[in-house]
């Protein structure tokens, strides 16, 4: 039986790559994004029958309506991927960045919760399925100039762990994926080196393998996972010294 997959942040980048991957295997997709033109163009390039929802994940009511419509048309999904995310450089001393902090947290954290909420009870009732949260290695240690993004991804990792334990024994697997650098529009503007950069379509293939296996937590690519483990072990004084002059994402980007 073909999979049913619901993906947020599907307009471009990782979300679009995941859509291409699952559609190629015959899945029916629910694609959520803020840019209807990009979603329409994507769907036109995919085999199969899919649903498109122009929804901002920061609007829980609209997201719940999309989830209800998808289940009415295709049934309870097998895989729900909370992929929508935004990133921008932020500095605490800049009053203008407070709104950016709020937007990043609403999208990257509350948007993930709102994505999963309509599906938890139906998935419990069926006794199987995958809830997949796309976090980031940026959530492992706080990166300078990226306080909002790092905080949001750290919160996502902790939230997903809580949800994983809550659903233990239900048959529903919670999968946390913490990507390193993936070649997407979000990373294209980074003015610093990005080690182990993965093409989006290759990343999607690796993500899908982890999702199918029901892995609780994984960093992709694995070499970035080694780096992440080392970062966790660094004493604060050494970490601070090494990262004080690290490259920073530009501030003031559109969100």
How many Å apart are CA 141 and CA 92, to the nearest integer?
17
**DSSP 8-state code for residue 235:** -
How large is the greatest C-alpha to C-alpha distance in the chain, in angstroms? 55
- Annotated active-site residue 149? The verdict is yes
- The DSSP bridge partners found for residue 147 are none
Of 22, 149, 159, 181, catalytic: 149
> Tokens at residue 253, please?
């980007």
Burial class (CB in 10 A: 0-12, 13-18, 19+), 80: buried
Token pair 């998808």 is found at 70
What radius of gyration, in Å, describes the C-alpha atoms of the chain?
18
Instruction: Report, as residue numbers or ranges, the catalytic residues.
Output: 149
């Amino acid at each position: 039986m073909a999979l049913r997959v619901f993906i947020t942040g599907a307009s471009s980048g990782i979300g679009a790559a995941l859509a291409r991957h699952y559609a190629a295997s015959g899945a029916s997709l629910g694609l959520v994004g803020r840019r209807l033109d990009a979603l329409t163009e994507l769907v036109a390039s995919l085999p199969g029958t899919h649903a498109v929802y122009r929804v901002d994940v920061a609007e829980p009511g609209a997201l719940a309506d999309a989830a209800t419509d998808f289940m009415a048309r295709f049934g309870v999904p097998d895989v729900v991927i909370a992929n929508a995310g935004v990133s921008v450089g932020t500095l605490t001393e800049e009053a203008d960045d407070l709104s950016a902090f709020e937007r990043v947290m609403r999208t990257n954290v509350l948007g993930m919760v709102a994505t999963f909420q309509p599906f938890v009870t139906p998935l419990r009732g069926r006794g199987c399925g995958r809830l997949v949260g796309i976090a980031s290695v940026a959530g492992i240690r706080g990166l300078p100039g990226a306080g909002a993004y790092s905080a949001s991804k750290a919160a996502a990792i902790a939230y997903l762990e809580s949800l994983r334990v809550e659903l233990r024994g239900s048959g529903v697997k919670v999968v946390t994926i913490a990507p390193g650098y993936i070649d997407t529009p979000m990373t294209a503007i980074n003015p610093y080196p990005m080690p182990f950069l993965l093409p989006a379509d290759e990343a999607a293939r690796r993500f899908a393998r982890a999702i199918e296996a029901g892995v609780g937590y994984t960093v992709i690519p694995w070499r970035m996972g080694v780096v992440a483990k080392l970062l966790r072990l660094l004493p604060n004084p050494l970490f601070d010294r090494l990262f004080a002059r690290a490259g920073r994402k530009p501030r003031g980007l559109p969100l």
